[in-house]
Structure 1
Amino acid sequence: MRPEDLSVNEVHGCQNRRIIMFERILIPIDNSSESWVAAHHAIALAQEEGSQLIGLYIADEKVISSPCWASADAMDPLSPGCDPMMLQQSENIRKQFKELGEKALRDLRQQAATAGVTIETYFETGIVPEIILEYAQNADLVVMGRRGVGGKWRGPLFGSTFEAVVRHAPCPVLATVSDPRPLNTLLVAYDGSDRARDALEIAMHLALEKDRRLIILTVDDGKHDRTAASFEAAALAREKGLSAKRRLVKGHVAEQILIAADEENVDLILIGAYGHSRFLAAILGSTVNDVVHQAATPVMICRKQP
């Protein structure tokens, strides 16, 4: 049974009204160290937000079926198909996936319980990114390591599993690189686009939650005057009661984001899934790609659920 769709929840206290932005956090895991780092980030964020975790382990059908594909002659229409020995090998791989998956999900449930976080877990078999994206339809955030959870492969979504999820997920994706640390300083890249507004809204929410330092970075790449966008973002932050630091710089966008993150000792970078270009709506934009793969801190690629 698939997890049901749940919307943003509003929690009412005696005098305070709190919005849980990430009510359901999806954490796909495998047995890689990267996926467990991502799990630790997801648990820490779930503790802060009061979120429910969705743990997902996927047995990769491409790996399970590989012995049969290797034994069958794809060029011979009269080929008898998979050799019985290869079929048995595939079944052995399937059983190994099941054992590893059950252990990984059991460990994840234990870690969540220790942290006081509610969790539901699922084991699936299929094409890794396709199943992650199916579950992402009913999540508010996906947390993944930049590697792991399927690694690199070539298939219907092309490229690595992580990149496929970032391109197509309907919700934000948090890319992790190391064990979680306190999120004291947030950097949001803002260019005035709709996706940048999504990133700014999430950044402001996180800043307000724990009185965090917020830096709004706008980069003038020489193609567009971003001055108005910079002041617009600062005004939006003030409306929320935030005194954000505004940085307006010139240069290559990804390079300036990475420089600012280093200079400001940033703990989390937030960036829109893509900028203004319609072409970039279909693929992972070069700016996002460069930042995600070069940043020394976690990066949240932001797009809000429709």
Structure 2
Amino acid sequence: MSFEFSNNPLGAREDFRRARRRAALQEIVFQFKGKSSDLLSYDDVVHKLKGLEVSAQLLKDIPIDSIVGSVGRYRDFNRRFLPRDGINSERWARVKMAMTGLKGVPPIEVYQIGEAYFVKDGNHRVSVAREMGFSHFQAYVTQVQTKVPLALNVEPDELILKAELAEFLEKTRLDHIRPGADLTVTVPGQYVALFEHINVHRYYMGLEQRREITYVEAVLHWYDTLYQPVVDIIHKQGMLQEFSGRTDTDLYLYITQHRTELEERLGWDITAETAAGDIEPRSSGYRATSEPIRNIYKHQGTSKPQSALVKGRLFVDILVAIDGCDSGWSSLTHAALIARRENGARLHGLHIVPVRSERHGPKMEELQNNFNDRCRKFDLSGRLAIDAGKRIRRICQRARYTDLTVMCLTGGQTDTKLSEGLRTLLRSCPRPVLVVTQEESPLDRILLAYDGSGLAREALYTAAYLAGQWGIELAVLTVHDAQISADNIQQRARHYLESHGIEAIYITEQKVAIVQAILNTVKEQNSNLILMGAHGRNAPWYINVGSAVAPVLQQSNQPVLICG
């Protein structure tokens, strides 16, 4: 690159006028891009970022492009250090002549914050040097340390975020007690919410421990037990890829806010993982029912110890449909049995009334108290929500926030009514459904009706989990018909179960209808839990619901777990 140097007053003043015109044009360009053309104010930056001088002056060459601000003259030049109105042309011209003459000019003085430099003395020299195309300039540099780093491309408005972060770190000292913790956000005002989270956490810590909790204690405990677990969920679910441009802290606040909204709307306690999954973008064909099962048994066909395969719980949150009748409490009894086997799963009771006006009153209060008393008796965590609308529709809408739906089959329902209700439930419910009777069952002897269909495989995965995790007996039934060979189909189930170290009894039937075969085998094996898919092979689901699931429910007094 070559430069033309003006070494006379007239030429230097003309250079100044060209620089002023360029500055005016750049103002328009910056405005069009929606960005600020202002230099950063050193005093403002140091105040906001809690800066502290940490070193003496050091003479070195610095990149001119890295100079982003000024100590006192940040309004006199734009971000490119072109002169604005108010700059004396004579002084600028004299500097230009000095820099092109033999005498030269002394080094400038700057402060360094992160990657950025701020001119303490020598603003005109920097302006002329940029106009002349210099890439570096000699400077006396004083290092300034701040709570948060400063990048070269920072905009003045972005300083608000950095200032809020600096204040947050100054008060919480998280950068000291948890070095490397990154709590940056992309929206101003978010640290107010974080302060509130810490203060509330400190309050409840004091109540629980019955002592005064120091602020540092509260910050550390909040970070380790509330913040970091949610961040782990964010990374586990890959949410940063779905919400590009957002940070861990952005999503932490988003998830906790959504969790609070869900709890207020549903009347249940919701986990952070459930809230995170609810806001994660999903594809239109997503079926969440089978995912937990596949995650637990993802190494199909490998021979591994049972304890290595079953690392988690399949049913952490259980929806319990309460109909308000004495016989209907059987659903809570069976759900409580499952919750205890799942190491204290949470019970989410749901009672549906026809209209919203019936959600309150003495009867509903009595129902709430009854539910709470029974949960305490079972020594389990549970909350009953009272909603209004169509029963099956509301159950299906809320099932997405749980892992299993339990409902009681009460007497007095006609075959038509039962079939219609099941069709709606199994078509819309995104989770397995356990239909129980009024008689209490120990749920320790499973009969799996297996025909090799897609949903039968889901039932197989569930059976493997229950037999392995709960240590209960399992029998597998396959019925031969004109389209399938029972022995061939059942061999697949046998291979899967044996590869996971799970023992079972294998039964095949011929020349017997599927419903009758299930009923006969239940009696012969003394089974007390029937496990099956909502529909079978090569037939529309609505036919199979009417011809298999509904008759089994009507004719058997045993609970039926349906994978739909």
TM-score (norm 2): 0.43
Q: Does 1:262 align with 2:555?
A: no
Verify: 1:47 aligned to 2:340, yes or no: yes
Query: Deviations along 1:233-254, whole A, 9 cap, x unmatched?
Result: 1111111211111111112111
Identity, in percent, stands at 27
Q: Residue 554 of structure 2 corresponds to which residue in structure 1? A: 293
Correspondent of 1:169 among 425, 429, 434: 429
- Residue of 308, 311, 329 corresponding to 1:18: 311
Tell me if structure 2 keeps the 8 A contact 1:145–1:176. Answer: yes
Structure 1 portions without partners, runs of 5+: 65-90
Q: CA RMSD in A?
A: 3.0
Tell me how far apart the structure 1 counterparts of residues 422 and 452 of structure 2 sit (CA, whole Å): 26
| 2:89 matched residue in structure 1 | none
Deviation (angstroms), 1:188: 0.2
For the pair 1:125 / 2:418, whether they are aligned, the reply is no
Aligned mates of 2:418, 2:501 — CA distance in 1? 43
Q: Which residue of 2 aligns with 1:279?
A: 540
Task: Return 5+ residue gaps in structure 2 as ranges.
Answer: 1-264, 278-291, 297-306
Q: Which residue of 1 aligns with 2:463?
A: 203
After superposition, the Cα gap between the structure-2 partners of 1:151 and 1:247, relative to the gap in structure 1 and judged at 3 Å, is: closer
* Residue 350 (structure 2) pairs with residue 56 (structure 1): yes
Alpha-carbon offset, residue 201 of structure 1: 1.1
Matched, 1:226 2:486: yes
Compare the two structures and name the one with the higher strand fraction. 1
- CA shift, 1:203, in A, is 1.2
1:51 partner letter? A
Q: What residue number does 1:109 align with?
A: 372
Distance 1:278 1:29 in 2: 33
Report deviation, 1:200.
1.1
Q: Tell me how far 1:165 sits from its aligned partner.
A: 1.9
Q: 2-side partners of 1:161 and 1:191: how far apart?
A: 24
Question: Do the aligned partners of 2:320 and 2:335 also contact (CA within 8 Å) in 1?
Answer: yes
Structure-2 change in CA distance of 1:162 and 1:109 (3 Å): farther
After TM superposition, the structure 1 stretch with the greater mean CA deviation from structure 2, 120-129 or 157-166, is 157-166
- TM-aligned CA deviation for residue 276 of structure 1: 2.3
- The 3-state SS of whatever aligns with 1:276 is coil
Could you tell me how far 1:19 is from its partner in structure 2?
Answer: 1.8
Q: How high is the TM-score relative to the length of structure 1?
A: 0.77
Mapped to 2, the partners of 1:171 and 1:127 lie a distance apart of 18
Q: Residues 56-96 of structure 1: CA distance to partner in whole angstroms, max 9, x if unpaired?
A: 111123xx8xxxxxxxxxxxxxxxxxxxxxxxxxx6xx37x
Q: Which residue of 1 aligns with 2:325?
A: 32
Name the structure with the higher helix share. Answer: 2
2: CA distance between counterparts of 1:229 and 1:163? 27
Partners of 1:252 and 1:121 lie apart in 2 by 41
1:195 and 1:158 map into 2 onto residues whose CA distance is 21
Give the CA deviation at 1:163: 5.0
Question: For residues 174-195 of structure 1, what are the alpha-carbon distances to aligned partners after superposition, in whole Å with 9 as ceiling and x for unaligned?
Answer: 1111332322311101110110
Considering Cα pairs closer than 8 Å and 6+ residues apart, tell me whether 1 or 2 has the greater RCO: 1
Please tell me the residue identity of whatever aligns with 1:292: L
**Structure 1 residues 42, 163: CA separation in 2 closer, same or farther (over 3 Å shift)?**
farther
In structure 2, distance between residues paired with 1:192 and 1:23: 27
Alpha carbons of structure 1 residues 159 and 270: separation in structure 2 relative to 1, 3 Å: closer
Instruction: Give the whole-Å Cα distance in 1 for the aligned partners of 2:420 and 2:327.
Output: 14
Structure 1 contact 273–285 (Cα < 8 Å) conserved: no
Residues 166, 109 of structure 1: CA spacing in aligned structure 2 closer, same or farther, 3 A cutoff? farther
**Corresponding residue pairs, total:** 266
Alpha carbons 2:320, 2:350 under 8 Å: kept? yes
Q: Which amino acid aligns with 1:128?
A: R
Distance 1:27 1:121 in 2: 9
Q: Distance in 2 between matches of 1:100 and 1:58?
A: 13
Alignment correspondent of 2:130: none
Report the AA paired with residue 109 of structure 1.
N
**In the aligned structure 2, how far is the partner of 1:158 from the partner of 1:232?**
33
Q: Quote how far apart the aligned CAs of 1:54 are.
A: 0.6
Q: Does structure 2 conserve the Cα–Cα contact (< 8 Å) formed by 1:27 and 1:54? A: yes
Other structure's SS at 2:312 match: strand
Note closer, same or farther for the CA distance 1:269–1:194 as it changes in structure 2 (3 Å cut).
same
Amino acid at match of 2:320: I
Matching of residues 144-159 of structure 1 within 5 Å: 144-147=407-410
The alpha carbon displacement at 1:161 in A equals 4.2
CA 1:200 to 1:185, structure 2 compared with 1: closer, same or farther past 3 Å? same
Residue of structure 1 in register with 2:563 after alignment = 302
Give the number of the structure whose alpha-carbon radius of gyration is greater: 2
In 2 relative to 1, CA 34–284 (structure 1 residues): closer, same or farther, beyond 3 Å?
Answer: farther
How far off its partner does 1:160 sit? 5.3
